[in-house]
Amino acid sequence: MFIESQFQMNFFLVKKKLLRSKNALFISALPLVAVLYVLLADSLNTALKFFLFLFPYLFLFFSGDMMKDEIDSGILENVIFLEDRYRHYLFQKNFILFVLAFLFSASIFFSLTIASLLPGTFKWFYLFQFLAGTIIGAYYIALSGWLSFYFRGGANIIIVIVGQITAIVSLFFSMQERTGFLYYLEKGEFPNLIAKIKLSLLVLIIPNFLITKNLSSYLFLAILGAGLFLFLQWHTIKNLELKK
Amino acid sequence: MGENLIESFNLSKNYGQIQALKEVCFSIKKGTITAFLGENGAGKTTTIKIILGFLKPDSGIVKKGNARIGYVPDRPLFFPWATGEEILEVTAKLFRIDLFRLPGLIENTSARIGFDQALLNRKAQTYSMGNQKKMSYLQNLLIKPELLVVDEPFTGLDPISIRLVRDLFLELKKEGKTIFLSSHLISELEKICEEVIIIRKGQVLLEDNLKKIRQTTNSDLETIFLSLHQKLLTG
């Protein structure tokens, strides 16, 4: 019933919420400022590379306060969300946020691309990296969306970032013991099962590694991760009750 | 389903150790105003939320026809960023109401419930409780529901608005709509309802036609409600 109009409504609601959220706009502007800084301090090429590594975070930042805040607040107990429409709204948020973050990122990427085409510094691999970053962005939305069923007030984003910092710090401090794994990481080859498991775990925490050339063949891990967390979200939404 | 828009069979619901509903059975007859009465915590809101699909029963089923359902909650809440106008726009989009006709519809409907249209430019969550309730009525009336479910229909409303809302229910009934009102304000509902369902501690105590009840007991609804309550207390 009303499938098309329902999606239009959900799109309108998600877009408006995002545009009226000062936190989301401020945090989303940070990567943009960082890229601008690199552009001015270094070169267009470095800025483009920096952007390609950083832009999946836009997807993550867009997914703040995705579920729990609205579920607990009681606003879903409205006539527009009757007949299970609130379940569709919650699940479709993933797709809508993805589209909005993609459009925002693509506009920056294509601006930088056009600028780098003129001096002839653009490499086609950047386009691949952009697509890889988009997949990682989808993973971030799926993961952060699932976390937001349990943590409110943007804590879902903080958890992901703290997890990444912890992983990087622990890699750094155990460099001696992990030389084998770091070597595999650098080469982009993981010959044994343990190394493959370690890579999978690392990708679950810091998927941005997959944007680099030597790890791009492992992008399917981000797709699998996104699928897993979307499935978990779907399962949670299917059993959800509005108990307020 | 026949003449019933909603039929519930043996609905049970627990919140942890607390049994909110125990094998609740009742039906909502098409074209009637039904009062769903019960003291605080009797299980009225839980029952409504199960009917509307916001909660799942632990056991039992709800049979619903294809009627378009409207819902006015006890304390309506809206997206904190949304103005009244935006809420109505979203509702109109969802239910495919012609956006050119929308201003006229809003004007007519606002007059029916005494809602000040000047408020529409403000965020709905900043409205007084009464105006939030009216906003919810306005939103529901736009979609022309065949069954309107209202939890505590008069919460936050002033006496003039209560009168307007009561008249509205009677007008809707004349238009062939079905209205299901849940409240503990018996005297207000007695003036307009035809069917009565009384629930206590998650169990339906009575489901009947108000006229019939009055004829057999020779007393008003409030007295019936209190005597049922008393009977159960004294065992």
Q: What percent of chain B has pLDDT over 70?
A: 97
- Per DSSP, the residues of A169-213 read HHHHHTTTTTHHHHHHHHHT---SHHHHHHHHHHHHH-GGGGGSG
Q: What percent of chain A has pLDDT over 70?
A: 96
B126 within 8 A of B134, measured Cβ to Cβ:
no
User: Looking at the partner chain, which of B15, B72, B78 has a beta carbon nearest the beta carbon of A75?
Assistant: B78
> Residue B84 and residue A191: Cα distance in Å, rounded?
60
- Nearest-neighbour CA in chain B from A217: distance (Å): 43
In this prediction, residue B226 carries a pLDDT of: 84
Residue in B13, B18, B77 with CA at minimum distance from that of residue A72? B77
In this prediction, residue A25 carries a pLDDT of: 80
Compute and round to an integer the Cα radius of gyration of chain A. 19
Model pLDDT for residues A134-161, shown as the tens digit of each residue: 999 999 999 999 999 999 888 999 999 9
With bands split at pLDDT 50, 70 and 90, how would you rate the model's confidence at B85? very high
Strands B33-37 and B178-183: parallel
Q: Test B79 with A13 for CB contact under 8 angstroms.
A: yes
**Structural domain boundaries of chain B?**
4-67+146-234, 79-144
A21 → chain B, closest CA residue: B81
Determine which of A111-125, A152-166, B30-44 has the lowest per-residue pLDDT on average. Answer: A111-125
Query: Looking at beta carbons, which residues of chain A come within 8 Å of B137?
Result: none
Q: Test B90 with A13 for CB contact under 8 angstroms.
A: yes
Query: Looking at beta carbons, which residues of chain B come within 8 Å of A2?
Result: 94-96
User: Looking at the partner chain, which of B49, B69, B72 has a beta carbon nearest the beta carbon of A242?
Assistant: B49
Q: Test A77 with B93 for CB contact under 8 angstroms.
A: no
- pLDDT exceeds 60 at position A1: no
Residue B160 sits at the chain A interface (C-beta within 8 Å): no
- pLDDT exceeds 80 at position B235: no
With bands split at pLDDT 50, 70 and 90, how would you rate the model's confidence at B160? very high
- Per DSSP, the residues of B130-185 read HHHHHHHHHHHHHT--SEEEEESTTTT--HHHHHHHHHHHHHHHHTT-EEEEEES-
The whole-chain average pLDDT of chain B stands at: 91
The whole-chain average pLDDT of chain A stands at: 88
In this prediction, residue A160 carries a pLDDT of: 94
- pLDDT exceeds 90 at position A124: no
- Tokens 């925002």 map to which residue? A104
Token pair belonging to B178: 């079905």
Q: Test B94 with A80 for CB contact under 8 angstroms.
A: yes
- pLDDT exceeds 60 at position A32: yes
Q: What is the mean pLDDT of residues B168-192?
A: 91
Dihedral, CA atoms, A210, A212, A213, A216, nearest 10 degrees?
A: 10
B88 within 8 A of B106, measured Cβ to Cβ:
yes
- pLDDT exceeds 80 at position A180: no
With bands split at pLDDT 50, 70 and 90, how would you rate the model's confidence at B55? very high
Q: Test A16 with B86 for CB contact under 8 angstroms.
A: yes
ipTM: 0.90
CA angle B219, B223, B229 (to 5 degrees): 135
- pLDDT exceeds 70 at position B96: yes
Q: What is the mean pLDDT of residues B41-51?
A: 93
In this prediction, residue A12 carries a pLDDT of: 93
Rounded to two decimals, what is the model's pTM? 0.90
Q: How is residue A67 annotated by DSSP?
A: S
In this prediction, residue B181 carries a pLDDT of: 96
Report how far apart, in Å, the C-alpha atoms of A225 and of each of A156, A166, B162 are: 16, 20, 54
Q: Which fold has domain B4-67+146-234?
A: Rossmann fold (3.40.50)
Q: What is the mean pLDDT of residues B75-93?
A: 93
Token pair belonging to B42: 């009797």
Chain centre distance of CA A9: 23
Residue in A133, A111, A138 with CA at minimum distance from that of residue A44? A111
DSSP 3-state of B12:
strand
Determine which of A83-92, B1-10, B88-97 has the lowest per-residue pLDDT on average. Answer: B1-10
A88 within 8 A of A6, measured Cβ to Cβ:
yes
**Structural domain boundaries of chain A?**
3-238
A20 → chain B, closest CA residue: B81
Residue B69: its H or E element: strand B69-72
